[in-house]
Amino acid sequence: MSNKITGLFSDYVAGRMSRRELMIRAGQLGLGAAASAMLLNQAQTKAMAANFDWKKENGKAINLLLNKHPYTDSLLMQIENFKQLTGLKVTYDVFPEDVYFDKVTTALSSKSSGYDAFMTGAYQTWQYGPAGWLVDLNEFIKDPAATAPDWNVGDILPGLLHSDAWSGVPGEVLGGPNAKQWALPWGFELNSIAYNKRMFEQAKVDPPKNLPDLIEKAVKLQTDIKGIYGIGVRGSRSWATIHPGYLSGLTSYGGSDFTVENGQLKSAVNSPQCKAFTKLWIEMIQKAGPKNWTNFTWYEVGNGLGAGASAMIFDADILGFFQQKGTKEAGNIGYEGFAANPDKKEPTPNVWIWSLAINAASNNKPAAWLLLQWAAATQPTLFGATKADLVDPVRQSVWDDKGFQDRLKEKYAGYLEQYTASAPGSKIYFTPQPLFFNLTTEWAASLQKMYANEVSVDEGLDKLAESVMGQLRDAGIVK
Amino acid sequence: MNGKSVLRAVALTVIGLFFLFPLFWVVLMSFMTNADILRIPPSPFFTPTLHNYTALVSGELVTNVGTQKVTYMLNLFNSTVLSAFSVILSLILAVPAAYAFARYKFRLGEDIAFTLLSFRFAPPLLVLLPLLLYFQSMGLYDTYFGLVWVYQLITLPLVLWIVRGYFEDVSEDIELAYRLDGHSWLSTFLRISIPLARPGIAAAALLSFIFAWNNFIFALILGSSRIQPVTVGAFAFVTASAIEFGQIAAALVFSIVPTLVLAIFTQRYLVEGLSLGAIKG
Amino acid sequence: MSTSGVASMSARPVVRRRRARMAGALPYLLSMPALLTCIGILVPFGTAIYYSLERYNLAFPATRGFIWFANYISLFRDATFWQTVAVSMAYTVLTVGLELLLGLGIALLLWRRTLVTNLLSVTLMLPLMVAPAIASMMWKLMTNADFGILSYFVSQLGFPNFRWASSPHTALFTVVLVDMWVYTPFITILLLAGLRALPRQPFEAAELDGVPGTFVFFRIILPMLMPYILTAGLFRMLDSIQQFDIIYAMTQGGPGDTLMVFQIQAYTQAFIFTNIARASAILMVLWAITFVLSNVFVKNWLRLRERARGRA
Amino acid sequence: MPFLEITGLKKSFRNHEIIRDLSLDMERGEFLVVFGPSGCGKTVLLRLIAGMLRPDAGDISIDGQSVTEVNPEYRDVGMAFQNYALYPHMTAFDNIASPLRSRHVKEAEIKARVNETARMLRIDHVLDHLPKALSQGQKQRTALARSLVGRPSVVLLDDPLRNVDAKIRYEMRFELPRVLRGFESTVIYVTQDYKEAMALGDRVAVLVDGAFRQIGSPLDVYDVPSTMRIARLFGDPPINLVPVHPVTANAGIEINVAGATVRLPPDGADFAGRECMFGIRSENVAVSLEANDGIPVTLDAITPLNNRVVMLLRGAEGTELFASCPQGGPMDRLRGQYQAWAKLDLAHAHFFDRGDGVRI
């Protein structure tokens, strides 16, 4: 029986049978859709082995450090296939996101070989890379012996791949000529609007076109509908407050964190564009934001939308994606790409990229690379995107995949459109420099002060710029 | 009922409300679904579900984004082992020391006592990174032994200073009397001093157990996920897709049980013992 | 009386063994194991001191080097650092002070042993059994403007715009409240234990209605309770000045810099900014302050002990 | 050879000398009362003998063996504490049995001996009570029983009757000697009450400022106090002490007491010209209201004491004197002030050096 089944799927993978036919035959063998999917996945994994020796590290063992996250769930669902494919022993440590990066930083700083590969964000690599804790993945990507010919790095969205590559020279553009590929994009989030259709219909407004429009509509929404607030955005005293909506909007208004003049970083947080935008931003929150904005993290923003406390959010698209299931407002969530600047049509969303990286102290780098390569390969990514929540996937081919598109159309109406609108302009808009967290944390703190009217926007941003330059000087980054 | 006792009753009620209502609400939440918890305005009326608890026990948590593995029972086990052994070790080490400081005025005595206390105020963050390095080189990383050792920083000073006070309250004459009866120093210590200081020892044991139980930074940095306590375990319900408040509430309720049992057990000693505490000479 | 008794006695050979030589060493033998067990920690502590004298940011391995007290100097020149000192002190004084008062009050209320008080003395311990980190998560939810039961109550009481931890004006109040909720039971337990350890006779009268008169309280109970109060206060102070879990979970040190206490400042420096040197310097200052403060406590504690001894 | 021998004992705390050069010899089975005012060093002395403190100098030996270096549990010394020091978590029975248990005596015999001792002290009915359930008297007897049951070669009783009510104290004065005789122990009994000292001891040792100032039979100490201090400590009402300046006059020695000249009997030692204290106990001062002989005084007040009446006399220069006489005399019913004459029985007069207070 089992041979019959596996035979069936390998036939399909080998192209000796149509997908329709496969599903019928599978049905006859009494397999549910889910089960068939697993088997198909297995068969396809085997197929990967056809033209590349995945078994070259056979018998070795690798240990992973992972963050509790839907992406991780998707990886672990398929991990058995990877073991079969490579003959590697795989163990893993999963830590809650609240404490995950504390664990990563300490583990890496101890230079122990305990973990071979781990999850990281792109911003963290700006610390880990220069610290010498990461491996330049180009060694492997560019080495035909190490990477499967059909792996097709070109299929990974270039903006993301570049965002994970940096030369280590402060201010030098991401993915530049002598950039090192510190990490491999695995799944990502871009920032756009997710809104509550029910409320929008009730208040007879359609999705906002730009920031002034958004403020207006947000105010209307919360005056028309009792007990809600117009717009949810993050506001806690953390770097995480800056990178989603705020920086995306700032970019749209032509602002940036730094300007680079002949190789020298110069803080631009107090540029006219930046001040103009920040004034609007603070106004937006004061007029239509949540009461306890300064406590707002990813979770409060999400809960607000999901539980119908907020009419819309300007944050990661997948945050809206998650609210579409199992929440009070499930099914009412709509998605919209967003360009804050009235004079701009194309959204310029900043992105967060969950990536995989290899510990420089690892003793099994080639084995670790096999895992990275596999995790970001077309097939497991597709599986994750369709059968789990590896959304947004980093491969163009997956976005083009009919199955994935169907899934989105079915349950997440408007998500695909939102993505297509946002994707072209989406990348990391921060200037890479190792004091990223110092800057953004302080930035968040001063936004909070402006919100409480303790300082004016102008004064706050001037102070911030000053302090940032001071720290860059102390660190010897600028003269 | 005179005015004073009315006042007393009122005071007790207010205090009871302040300390117990939040817990009461948490218990309610532990029987709610996340959707029930995130209602506007919050309401105590809902159709209770055991889902949160069953998920914790079964280790299978079904959420809006598929099924997740829950290791909370393991965390519970870890916390129990770590706290229990830390307290036991602290008692073995600190009770004799406490007796020494209470009974004998010896050279450097107070200095040693203070040094032992000062371990309590070395901020964990300060020693964590170096500690990690040494633990890895000594092979203590990710071992219960290593953690129990580090936990002494939390539990030992507490036991030492609380118990010391009680020993000082035990009358020297009673010990002398027992010695004169022909008993050795050791059996005097075991059969007189310790039983008479038992309320203090019970209180110290309970409190240090609680402090060990509530700590998590040490285990987080010095261990893998297989050795993490409930504190870290509870964070696992805070995921990118949602905060599972119901789970956290249930986890919180679970995490109280062992300590509560210990508290009820020691309460007997507290009450019984305290009536014979402070038998001053 | 039976002569047989006498006979058996005089028959007993009286052996008088010599005193063990180690008699004088006994106290050392008793305290050494504890000391040796903890002394291991001094090694990392020393390393940390060294870090605080370096330029050491994990992200700039190249620039690492020994710079004597530069970190401390830059700290003392930094206004936000003094803000940190001020906030930490305010937080410590508020929490320890209020908790001592409340804890003492509760202990007195629970002094008289009845079914109710016995029950309460256990149940009132419950908050202490909840890890502060998790408790704070719950408090954050309960004070959430939309879903929070407490916010709901407060708004029903006519304060719909009470912002709890999210407003710079009420943030300190909120975290102190949570701290009191979590840690007052700690004080109550210790003081209740001490209270019940007092010789009862003097207070029989006072205890009749459970609450002692002011004279008895100030002249007898308080002095006798002082050592316990100091012990409890000491350990609360040690934890309070190093508070992290509650504040971080509730506000991450915000809004603005309102609650940037030592540990949060240090945590941010070490784990977010990977600036180990600065974090170590901050924590060394914290350590020094703690050292001085606890010295005061212990000195008084010993003095009181001596007096108690004199009385005994 | 003495059974308990203490020689040149010294002990000081923080260079404050508590016991200074103290020596003592006791025969086997002797009952010695150590009498001294509070703070005279009694407790320290007992702790030294018991072995809880180590002397700075000197030696303690029991039955010919030095025990200075011996741990308390090996000294075979029993002690009853002023505050009883009962083990609050053990029943009266276990309290008393403790010394026997330490010697692994068989349970059966322990039971027998404890009951026997308890019966002797009439506490056999409360043996299963915890100390907190015992009356003061029962506690005190339990403590006593515990110190005796093991029949130690030396028994130390630290003011055992201090904290019990008058009735029990009175009973015990008779009972103790009987009980102790039964145990044949050598007993050191510490008390602050001179009547107890008089009532109980074969010998009384007066401990003042960390040394024995006088050791002798109760009567010796009363009649021939070796110092002014001791003379004061014994006796109720306290002995009369008057500063005098003896002068040689018409072939004899005269002193001036209360404004009157008193001529000393010729056999009196020659201490003319020495500044000294003249001491005389109240019972040696006779008072008469009529006969105009003796020292003219005002009889100020009269109070009955035990079976005597005590009179307060005021002489010229306001000197106050106590006099006492058996009840049933003419004095009993007197109230208010009277003119009277006091007659001193100079045979029982004491003279002390006014400087060091030593008897002359």
Residue A479 counted as domain residue: no
Collect all residues of chain B within an 8 Å Cβ-Cβ radius of residue A114.
Answer: 136, 141, 224
C265 to chain A, closest Cα gap in Å: 12
**What does each of the 312 residues of chain C score in pLDDT, given as a tens digit?**
333 333 334 334 455 555 545 567 889 999 999 989 888 877 888 999 999 999 999 988 888 999 999 999 999 999 999 999 999 999 999 999 999 999 999 998 888 778 888 888 888 889 999 999 999 999 999 999 999 999 999 999 998 889 999 999 999 999 999 999 999 999 998 888 888 777 655 555 444 445 567 777 887 788 888 888 998 999 999 999 999 999 999 999 989 999 999 999 999 999 999 999 999 999 999 999 999 999 998 898 888 877 766 554
For the record, the structure tokens of D138 come out as 């029962």
Interface of C with D (CB under 8 A): 1-2, 5-6, 8-9, 12, 14-20, 23
List, in sequence order, every residue forming a beta bridge with A356; answer none if it has no partner: A119, A184
**Using 50, 70 and 90 to split pLDDT, how confident is the model at D91?**
very high
Q: Which residues, in sequence order, are CB contacts of A436 under 8 Å at separation 6+?
A: A123, A126, A127, A239, A430
Least confident window among A100-104, C32-36, D335-339: D335-339
The residue among B82 and D135 whose pLDDT is bigger is: B82
* Residues D97, D141 share a domain: yes
Q: Could B220 and A110 be called an inter-chain contact, meaning their C-beta atoms sit closer than 8 Å?
A: no
Residue D122 counted as domain residue: yes
Collect all residues of chain D within an 8 Å Cβ-Cβ radius of residue C16.
Answer: 62, 65, 67, 70, 74-76
Candidates D261, D263, D258; CA nearest to D314 is D258
pLDDT of residue A266: 95
Collect all residues of chain C within an 8 Å Cβ-Cβ radius of residue A109.
Answer: 58, 274
Residue pair B280/B101 in contact (Cβ under 8 Å)? The answer is no
Of B20, B166, B203, the CB nearest to C189: B203
Sign of CA dihedral B213, B215, B216, B218: negative
Cβ atoms within 10 A of the Cβ of D181, count? 13
* Residues D249, D195 share a domain: no
Cα–Cα distance measured from residue C251 to residue D276, given in angstroms and rounded to the nearest whole number? 87
Domains of chain B by residue range: 3-56, 72-275
ipTM: 0.86
Residue A315: give its domain's CATH number.
3.40.190.10
Residue D358 counted as domain residue: no
Number of domain units in chain C? 1
- Give the position of tokens 């016995």: C118
Mutate to test the interface with A, among C136, C161, C170, C252 (most CBs of A within 10 A): C252
* Residues D334, D225 share a domain: no
* Residues D40, D149 share a domain: yes
* Residues A81, A170 share a domain: yes
pTM of model > 0.80: yes
Q: Which residue on chain B is closest to C190 by alpha carbon? A: B203
* Residues A346, A263 share a domain: yes
Cα–Cα distance measured from residue D332 to residue D323, given in angstroms and rounded to the nearest whole number? 13
C38 touches chain A (CB under 8 A): no
A449 touches chain C (CB under 8 A): yes
pLDDT of residue C1: 35
Q: Could D69 and C17 be called an inter-chain contact, meaning their C-beta atoms sit closer than 8 Å?
A: no
* Residues A182, A80 share a domain: yes
* Residues D136, D91 share a domain: yes
Q: State how far Cα D227 lies from the chain centre.
A: 15
Q: How far apart are the first and last CA of chain D?
A: 32
- What's the order of all strands across the beta sheet hosting D16-26? D16-26, D4-13, D57-62, D65-66
B43 touches chain A (CB under 8 A): no
Collect all residues of chain A within an 8 Å Cβ-Cβ radius of residue C167.
Answer: 294, 452
- In this predicted structure, the answer to whether residue A286 has a pLDDT above a threshold of 80 is yes
Cα–Cα distance measured from residue C239 to residue C92, given in angstroms and rounded to the nearest whole number? 9
For the record, the structure tokens of D148 come out as 């005796």
Q: Could D50 and B178 be called an inter-chain contact, meaning their C-beta atoms sit closer than 8 Å?
A: no
Residue C11 counted as domain residue: no
Q: Could B38 and C147 be called an inter-chain contact, meaning their C-beta atoms sit closer than 8 Å?
A: yes
* Residues A320, A442 share a domain: yes
* Residues A139, A40 share a domain: no
The string of pLDDT tens digits covering residues A50-91 is 678 999 999 999 999 999 999 999 999 999 999 999 999 999
Residue pair B164/B201 in contact (Cβ under 8 Å)? The answer is no
Sign of CA dihedral A221, A226, A232, A237: positive
Of B128, B225, B242, the CB nearest to A322: B242
The string of pLDDT tens digits covering residues B157-209 is 999 988 998 888 888 889 999 999 999 999 999 999 999 888 889 889 999 99
Residue C2 counted as domain residue: no
Collect all residues of chain C within an 8 Å Cβ-Cβ radius of residue D69.
Answer: 18-19
Q: Could C43 and B130 be called an inter-chain contact, meaning their C-beta atoms sit closer than 8 Å?
A: yes
Residue D105 counted as domain residue: yes
Cα–Cα distance measured from residue C287 to residue D199, given in angstroms and rounded to the nearest whole number? 66
Burial class of residue B123 (count of CB atoms within 10 Å of its CB; 0-12, 13-18, 19+): buried
- Give the position of tokens 């006070």: B165
Collect all residues of chain A within an 8 Å Cβ-Cβ radius of residue B243.
Answer: 299, 303
Least confident window among C85-89, D321-325, D333-337: D333-337
| Structural domain containing residue A106 | 53-189+354-420
* Residues A215, A291 share a domain: yes
Residue C201 counted as domain residue: yes
b (16+ CB within 10 A) / e for A301-324: bbbbbbbbbbbbbbbbbbbbbbbb
* Residues A435, A340 share a domain: yes
Cα–Cα distance measured from residue B215 to residue B124, given in angstroms and rounded to the nearest whole number? 10
A121 to chain B, closest Cα gap in Å: 14
Q: Could B35 and A326 be called an inter-chain contact, meaning their C-beta atoms sit closer than 8 Å?
A: yes
A113 touches chain B (CB under 8 A): no
pLDDT of residue D219: 87
Q: Report how far apart, in Å, the C-alpha atoms of B51 and of each of A132, B245, D267, D345 are.
A: 46, 12, 112, 105
The string of pLDDT tens digits covering residues A1-60 is 456 666 666 677 666 676 667 767 766 666 666 666 677 777 777 677 667 899 999 999
Number of domain units in chain D? 2
Q: Which helix (H) or strand (E) holds D62?
A: strand D57-62
Residue pair A339/A210 in contact (Cβ under 8 Å)? The answer is yes
Residue D359 counted as domain residue: no
Of D79, D88, D103, the CB nearest to B180: D79
Q: Which helix (H) or strand (E) holds D32?
A: strand D31-35
Residue type, A213: D
Q: What is the DSSP string of A126-180?
A: HHHHHHT-B--THHHHT-TTTS-GGG-GGGB-HHHHHHTEE-SSTTPPTT-TT-E
Interface of D with C (CB under 8 A): 62-63, 65, 67, 69-71, 74-76, 103, 109, 113, 116, 120, 151, 153, 182, 184
B105 to chain C, closest Cα gap in Å: 9
Q: State how far Cα C241 lies from the chain centre.
A: 8
Q: Which residues, in sequence order, are CB contacts of C42 under 8 Å at separation 6+?
A: none
The string of pLDDT tens digits covering residues B228-278 is 999 999 998 888 888 889 999 999 999 999 999 998 888 777 655 444 433
Residue pair A187/A394 in contact (Cβ under 8 Å)? The answer is yes
Cα–Cα distance measured from residue B135 to residue B223, given in angstroms and rounded to the nearest whole number? 10
Subunits close to B (at least 3 CB pairs below 8 A): A, C, D
C80 touches chain A (CB under 8 A): no
Chains D and A are in contact, defined as 3 or more C-beta pairs closer than 8 angstroms = no
A220 to chain C, closest Cα gap in Å: 19
- Give the position of tokens 């490579």: A86
* Residues D249, D339 share a domain: yes
Residue A110 counted as domain residue: yes
Collect all residues of chain C within an 8 Å Cβ-Cβ radius of residue B170.
Answer: none
The string of pLDDT tens digits covering residues B107-156 is 888 888 888 888 877 788 888 889 999 999 999 999 999 999 999 999 99
* Residues A231, A339 share a domain: yes
Subunits close to D (at least 3 CB pairs below 8 A): B, C
Mutate to test the interface with B, among C31, C146, C306 (most CBs of B within 10 A): C31
Preceding peptide of C227 cis, ω within 30°: no
Subunits close to C (at least 3 CB pairs below 8 A): A, B, D
Cα–Cα distance measured from residue C173 to residue A275, given in angstroms and rounded to the nearest whole number? 33
For domain B72-275, the CATH architecture is: Orthogonal Bundle (1.10)
C171 to chain A, closest Cα gap in Å: 10
Of A114, A328, A389, the CB nearest to B38: A328
Cα–Cα distance measured from residue C304 to residue C310, given in angstroms and rounded to the nearest whole number? 10
B69 touches chain C (CB under 8 A): no
Exposure of C199 in the CB half-sphere (CA atoms within 13 A) = 13
Collect all residues of chain C within an 8 Å Cβ-Cβ radius of residue B112.
Answer: 31, 35
Cα–Cα distance measured from residue D60 to residue D49, given in angstroms and rounded to the nearest whole number? 7
Q: Could B149 and C37 be called an inter-chain contact, meaning their C-beta atoms sit closer than 8 Å?
A: yes
Residue D253 counted as domain residue: yes
* Residues A318, A217 share a domain: yes
Query: Using alpha carbons only, how large is chain C's radius of gyration in Å?
Result: 26
Residue type, D328: G
Q: What is the DSSP string of A158-171?
A: HHHHHHTEE-SSTT
Residue C248: give its domain's CATH number.
1.10.3720.10
**Average pLDDT, rounded, for chain A:** 92
B63 touches chain A (CB under 8 A): yes
* Residues A229, A364 share a domain: no
Cβ atoms within 10 A of the Cβ of A178, count? 10
Cα–Cα distance measured from residue A352 to residue D259, given in angstroms and rounded to the nearest whole number? 114
Q: Which residues, in sequence order, are CB contacts of D191 under 8 Å at separation 6+?
A: D33, D34, D35, D159, D161, D162, D197, D200
- In this predicted structure, the answer to whether residue A195 has a pLDDT above a threshold of 80 is yes
Q: What is the DSSP string of chain C?
A: --HHHHHHHHHS----PPPPGGGGGHHHHHHHHHHHHHHTTHHHHHHHHHHHTEE-BTT-GGG-EE-TTHHHHHHHH-HHHHHHHHHHHHHHHHHHHHHHHHHHHHHHHHHS--HHHHHHHHHTTHHHHS-HHHHHHHHHHHT-TTT-HHHHHHHHTT-TT--GGGSTTTHHHHHHHHHHHHHHHHHHHHHHHHHHHS-SGGGHHHHTTSS--HHIIIIIIHHHHHHHHHHHHHHHHHHHTT--HHHHHHHTT-STTTT--HHHHHHIIIIIS-BHHHHHHHHHHHHHHHHHHHHHHHHHHHHHHHHHHHH-
Residue A179 counted as domain residue: yes
Cα–Cα distance measured from residue A93 to residue A98, given in angstroms and rounded to the nearest whole number? 15
- Label residue A109 left, alpha or beta by phi (over 0 means left) and psi (-120 to 50 means alpha): alpha
Q: Mean per-residue pLDDT for D63-78? A: 88
Residue B197: helix, strand or coil by DSSP?
Answer: coil
Instruction: Determine the longest span between alpha carbons in chain A, in angstroms.
Output: 74
pLDDT of residue D275: 82
B182 touches chain C (CB under 8 A): no
Q: Which residue on chain A is closest to B64 by alpha carbon? A: A326
Q: Which residues, in sequence order, are CB contacts of A359 under 8 Å at separation 6+?
A: A107, A108, A113, A115, A116, A117, A118, A133, A134, A135, A368
pLDDT of residue D285: 86
Which three-class secondary structure string do you get for C204-251? Answer: HHHHCCCCCCHHHHHHHHHHHHHHHHHHHHHHHHHHHCCCCHHHHHHH
A68 touches chain B (CB under 8 A): yes
The string of pLDDT tens digits covering residues A415-442 is 999 999 999 999 999 999 999 999 999 9
Q: Which residues, in sequence order, are CB contacts of D193 under 8 Å at separation 6+?
A: D161
Of C5, C15, C19, the CB nearest to D116: C5
C271 touches chain A (CB under 8 A): yes
Number of domain units in chain A? 3
Mutate to test the interface with C, among A294, A449, A467 (most CBs of C within 10 A): A294
| Structural domain containing residue D267 | 240-353
Sign of CA dihedral A162, A164, A169, A173: positive
The residue among A63 and D297 whose pLDDT is bigger is: A63
Residue A48: helix, strand or coil by DSSP?
Answer: helix
DSSP state of A363: S
Q: Could C60 and A437 be called an inter-chain contact, meaning their C-beta atoms sit closer than 8 Å?
A: no
Q: Could D62 and C16 be called an inter-chain contact, meaning their C-beta atoms sit closer than 8 Å?
A: yes
Q: Could B65 and A327 be called an inter-chain contact, meaning their C-beta atoms sit closer than 8 Å?
A: no
Q: Which residues, in sequence order, are CB contacts of B249 under 8 Å at separation 6+?
A: B26, B27, B29, B30, B32, B37, B52, C138
Q: Could B149 and C40 be called an inter-chain contact, meaning their C-beta atoms sit closer than 8 Å?
A: yes
- Give the position of tokens 């308390």: D72
Q: Mean per-residue pLDDT for D20-39? A: 88
| Structural domain containing residue C123 | 53-311
